[in-house]
Structure 1
Amino acid sequence: MDRRQFVKNSALTLCALPVIPAAGIVPSRADQMPEWLRALVKQADKAIESLQNLQVKDSKSPDLGGVRDGFDLLNPHSTSALIQWGASGLFSPSSKFHQSRELLADMDLAASYLIKTQHQDGTIDLLSTNFHSTPDTGFLVKRLTMAYVLIEKSGTEGAPKMLANLKTFLLRAGDALSVGGIHTPNHRWVVSAALMKLNELWPNPKYVARAEQWLAEHIDIDRDGQYNEKSTFIYSSLTDRLLITIGKRLNKPELFDAVRKNLDMTMYYLHPNGEIVTDASGRQDKAIVGTLENYYYPYRFFALRDGNGQYAAMCRLIEKTAGLKTAGFLDYLLTDPSLWKELPADKPLPVNYVKTFPNSGLVRIRRDSWDSTLIANNPVWFTFMKGNAVLQGVRFASSFFGKGQFQSEKIAENGKEWVLTQKLDGPYFQPYPKESIAPDGDWEKMPRNFRPQSEVQILETKVMIRETSGGMEIEVVTNGTERVPAALELIFRPGGTLKGVSKIENTKDAWLLKEATGSYEMGGDTITFGPGLALHKNIALRGALPAMEAPTVFLTGFTPFKHVIRFS
């Protein structure tokens, strides 16, 4: 299972876990662990069993020791996961795998497989996309160093042999991390954090020098409190964890300021049901449904370090809404018993606000039990959530020259409304300049941008979004070319029940709101919306994005299009 697949399966999520000096870790009796921590240990036991069942144990197989992923591929990531999770089991007195020699033997096979699949330069492959990959090597190292410490301190009989194999893999990886390149902004901190973990176990000046070289580029955090990738579910929280690790190991507490800034911002990216806003992400988590388990360690670390009551409240909210998903960070908690302490008293979280994040092109409006997000540079530019009922996106499109999908470069605040705009043109083209005509008549040799334009059509669209007494309203107005078919698209989260709408024949899950008011109910919560408009049934407009795999209600008309729809 590759790194991206792990993100989707929280029980096996690969996480960056900081470690305190080995001397600070001592085996503890089960009754010294708080109950919530013992629950996470039980959850980890399930992951260990699952990984053991996926391991190749045929002594005659060339793949001996490897662990298959969900696609039946043997790879370093799923193989290292057995060592990572297994270490927690060996170390934890409340685990069924505590000091298990059988599990240790499986982990030794996995370590040998990692050595066998490691390239001569010390790197490993991420089979879904990256080969001879320094950053993916870093993702493994930052966890396996934690595993090394836990195994060493577990007191498991026969551990030195297994640790010798693991050390071989890690030191070779350290050579790669000291010189190798990266792809994305967060990879710099992945590599640096992994080097700091190696340096803790086997000090080496080149590890520190390379981390300092990456840090010289400064932290990529903006005034909003967001990192470059704007990846709120995956990479922002990852960067928080990595910077904590680097800051502790290099004694650079100034790195913590960026983490706090991101954690403060994230409190305003919180839906009432405990999900996180992902609509502005620049990575693969864009618009996915995600909870906050990835932020648990940073919030807990600073809640205790700073005595921050709001961060403590976030921890308790994550425990309530994400629960056992936080088991992905068990390594953090086992290696730092100071995190077992009781959190400080809660302070209220922001639940009633209008907050603008200009660098992310995002506006957040929340009123206790409902919230809305406005998004620039995105074909989905509005969401509305009321408890379990979720309008996960609104889109607008016209069949204007095959390029009529509405998207606004920015969100402008105008008094008590937010305005999104788009201007499109649709020209026709005259004969090519005589002196430049290609003798062989090759169309490609006569670029259209050199042809005179005529009959230029213009379509301007303005979307005005306003807060109402019980929700939000959207007004869409177009000017310019007339009689262009257009459609407003309301995309709801699958699983609920629509009422007051008419099914469009020969579609899977498309509906029209013809006149009055419709509703969407899910889990006891209801969103009402209307009034409707249905002047045609052409919902597959040329140039518009394909329909999403979700129940979708359409409002249809022609330009000049002018309609107001309210949500409550």
Structure 2
Amino acid sequence: MDRREFVKNSALAICSMPVVAPAFISTKNTADKMPPWLAAMASRTDKSIESLLTFQVKDKNSEDLGGLRDGFDLLNPHSTSALIQYGASGLFSPTSKYYLSTELVESMNLAALYLIKTQHEDGTIDLLSTNFHSTPDTGFLVKRLTMSYASIKNSGTPGVEKLLENLKTFLIRGGNALSVGGIHTPNHRWVVCAALTKLNELWPNPKYVARIEQWLGEHIDIDADGQYNEKSTFIYSSLSDRILITVAKGMNKPELLDNVRKNLNMTMYYVHPNGEVVTDASGRQDKAVIGTMENYYYPYRYLAIKDKNPQYAAMCRMIEKTAGDKTGSFIDYFLNDPSLWAELPAEKPFPVSYVKTFPNSGLVRIRRNNRDSTLIANNPVFFTFMKGNAVLQGVRFASSFFGKGQFQSEKVNEKGNTWELIQKLDGPYYQPYPKESIAPDGDWEKMPKTYRPQSEIQLLETKVTILETEDGMAIEITTNGTERVPAALELIFRPGGELQGVTKIENTKDAWLLKEGTGTYRFNDDVISFGPGLALHKNIALRGALPIMEAPTVFITGFTPFKHVIRFR
């Protein structure tokens, strides 16, 4: 479990999301000019502060005094730093009930002291779920606490001197670690750079700048599609956008913004009709999760205003409509950068009707306004279909071919107005081991199959052809080769809707057969129809196939040679 999964499972989830530090506010009076939307966001943040305070250890005799527990009852620096981060927003914002609160300052100071206590001598902190003496996790905290430092200082709250002094101690120690420490993943490099950038704005130091330049010397990991190496559309792509903006501003490197623009341009084609983001090609823990677009609000807003980009402005309005409350997780961005307080430019619609291929991600996106599909390579789920809020979240195909018949294609090949996905399998039998090489003790493991002659080799080729129709999509499944192999096509729908026209499979939780005709899946006012059906057997737990998902799943079953066309409308 990494830091995002850690905070997602925590009672403090909203308060622990990794974000980065924007430019600092220079005067306290700026807070009085906050736009209404930001003032309202600050008021809503009070609930997060209230929640955080209930998790803090207040026993003066406890060695854990000041620390905060997470949802697993673990005291940790991430939850503890969240109180400082959100508390700083409360102290600074006139619309917060914690505005200029000296009582809150006392709690925040205890949290700062706990951070210092749990900080290692080398300046690092631990992410208890996985990383210890972790430079990257130190970077995640430091880059956000620098923003907190600025907000606290500019708030004018009485008695903040000790808090600022303790925060500085933690941050400077963290800067020492960030100046020399290593990383795990591509985005960690930019996290470290962003944290050092913000430290350098507060306390300029040549070693901070040298380390930033060293990491940036590796160049930004963005491909021709506009996607970063991890392809993590819900978590780390947006994170990279935010922190590259931080470095671009703080280090006077505007060329870094071109990478952000490339990613934002690509991401416009990764939006489902209901405002969710496509996550099927991710290489990280957000693969195929249900995620909305709040993480992109800051970069879209920043560049919409800076570039006067009307499509970015339209993306902002869409995010406000579909995930507006969640943008409060990034309130420190908005409080610390008054340039974001400007009105968005006039809008120009972003793309909602297109066919777009992303070869580096093995993805094809087809959207027609309120209906869209995603075609995916290197994934057992090779197709999704959505109409409004009715979601077919995956289509899979499998056969019981030698225990390895789960369909997956390395590529999505465009063939005129169709797309093809192909899998070729073989199933050999093995002859006696070469006499001169037989293990004297008869140990099977000493006689590997790679050295045995093969015979009676069975072959199975599966071809999936996908076609856009006038009112939806069609999938044709065709197999060639070994006959009488049981096969099953899975239609996996999102929980919460209603299936009709299908037959429940006995002794299953949520598995159904479409025996003939057309079935429907309804979610509120949105309906997906699918068919025709086929049900030649009820063996849905094929040997070698992936386990059935915990979701309403409709099966179409048959035997090889399997040939069936199913349409989605």
For residue 166 of structure 1, what is the aligned residue in structure 2? Answer: 167
Give ranges in structure 1 of 5+ residues lacking alignment.
none
Distance 2:499 2:266 in 1: 34
- CA offset at residue 329 of structure 1? 1.0
Q: Tell me the amino acid that sits aligned with residue 321 of structure 2.
A: K
1:26 counterpart = 2:38 = no
- CA offset at residue 323 of structure 1? 1.1
For residue 192 of structure 1, what is the aligned residue in structure 2? Answer: 193
Distance 1:10 1:70 in 2: 9
Kindly indicate whether the alpha-carbon contact (under 8 Å) linking 2:484 and 2:560 is maintained by their aligned counterparts in 1. yes
Kindly indicate whether the alpha-carbon contact (under 8 Å) linking 2:20 and 2:140 is maintained by their aligned counterparts in 1. no
For residue 258 of structure 1, what is the aligned residue in structure 2? Answer: 259
Partner SS, residue 27 of structure 1? helix
Partner SS, residue 93 of structure 1? coil
Aligned pairs for 1:388-467 (under 5 A) are 388-467=389-468
- CA offset at residue 566 of structure 1? 0.1
For residue 136 of structure 1, what is the aligned residue in structure 2? Answer: 137
- CA offset at residue 13 of structure 1? 4.2
Aligned pairs for 1:229-308 (under 5 A) are 229-308=230-309
Partner SS, residue 200 of structure 2? helix
Aligned pairs for 1:164-563 (under 5 A) are 164-563=165-564
Partner SS, residue 42 of structure 1? helix
For residue 89 of structure 2, what is the aligned residue in structure 1? Answer: 88
CA RMSD of aligned residues (A): 1.1
For residue 18 of structure 2, what is the aligned residue in structure 1? Answer: 15
- CA offset at residue 12 of structure 1? 2.1
**In structure 2, do the counterparts of structure 1 residues 112 and 157 end up closer, same or farther at CA, with 3 Å as the change threshold?**
same
Deviations 1:46-99 (A, max 9, x none): 100000000000011111111011111110100000000100000101100001
**In structure 2, do the counterparts of structure 1 residues 198 and 258 end up closer, same or farther at CA, with 3 Å as the change threshold?**
same
- CA offset at residue 20 of structure 1? 1.6
Q: Tell me the amino acid that sits aligned with residue 281 of structure 1.
A: S
- CA offset at residue 313 of structure 1? 0.4
Partner SS, residue 69 of structure 2? coil
Partner SS, residue 560 of structure 1? coil
Distance 2:130 2:29 in 1: 40
Partner SS, residue 58 of structure 1? coil
TM-score, structure 2 normalization: 0.98
Kindly indicate whether the alpha-carbon contact (under 8 Å) linking 1:3 and 1:77 is maintained by their aligned counterparts in 2. no
Q: Tell me the amino acid that sits aligned with residue 45 of structure 2.
A: A
For residue 108 of structure 2, what is the aligned residue in structure 1? Answer: 107
TM-score, structure 1 normalization: 0.98
Distance 1:251 1:155 in 2: 29
**In structure 2, do the counterparts of structure 1 residues 343 and 35 end up closer, same or farther at CA, with 3 Å as the change threshold?**
same
For residue 59 of structure 1, what is the aligned residue in structure 2? Answer: 60
Distance 1:353 1:262 in 2: 18
Distance 2:24 2:296 in 1: 23
Deviations 1:417-473 (A, max 9, x none): 000000000111111111111111111111110111111110000000000010000
Distance 1:558 1:497 in 2: 29
Deviations 1:259-309 (A, max 9, x none): 000000000000011000000000000000000000000000000000000
Kindly indicate whether the alpha-carbon contact (under 8 Å) linking 1:7 and 1:234 is maintained by their aligned counterparts in 2. no
Partner SS, residue 254 of structure 1? helix
Distance 2:555 2:36 in 1: 50
Partner SS, residue 188 of structure 1? helix
Q: Tell me the amino acid that sits aligned with residue 405 of structure 1.
A: Q
Deviations 1:117-156 (A, max 9, x none): 1111111111111111100000000100000000011111
Kindly indicate whether the alpha-carbon contact (under 8 Å) linking 2:463 and 2:478 is maintained by their aligned counterparts in 1. yes
Distance 1:191 1:286 in 2: 24
Kindly indicate whether the alpha-carbon contact (under 8 Å) linking 1:10 and 1:328 is maintained by their aligned counterparts in 2. no
- CA offset at residue 249 of structure 1? 1.2
Q: Tell me the amino acid that sits aligned with residue 380 of structure 1.
A: V
Kindly indicate whether the alpha-carbon contact (under 8 Å) linking 2:200 and 2:209 is maintained by their aligned counterparts in 1. yes
Partner SS, residue 394 of structure 2? strand
Distance 2:437 2:550 in 1: 48
Kindly indicate whether the alpha-carbon contact (under 8 Å) linking 2:25 and 2:337 is maintained by their aligned counterparts in 1. no
Distance 1:100 1:52 in 2: 13
Q: Tell me the amino acid that sits aligned with residue 111 of structure 1.
A: A
Kindly indicate whether the alpha-carbon contact (under 8 Å) linking 1:89 and 1:97 is maintained by their aligned counterparts in 2. yes
Q: Tell me the amino acid that sits aligned with residue 17 of structure 2.
A: L
Distance 2:518 2:117 in 1: 64
Distance 2:437 2:474 in 1: 53
Percent of aligned positions with the same letter in both sequences?
A: 75
Kindly indicate whether the alpha-carbon contact (under 8 Å) linking 2:221 and 2:228 is maintained by their aligned counterparts in 1. yes
Kindly indicate whether the alpha-carbon contact (under 8 Å) linking 2:247 and 2:253 is maintained by their aligned counterparts in 1. yes
Partner SS, residue 226 of structure 2? coil
- Say which is worse superposed, 436-445 or 459-468, in terms of deviation: 436-445
Give ranges in structure 2 of 5+ residues lacking alignment.
none
Q: Tell me the amino acid that sits aligned with residue 30 of structure 2.
A: S
Distance 1:108 1:12 in 2: 18
Distance 1:29 1:424 in 2: 65
Deviations 1:224-276 (A, max 9, x none): 00000000000000000010011111111110000000000000000011000
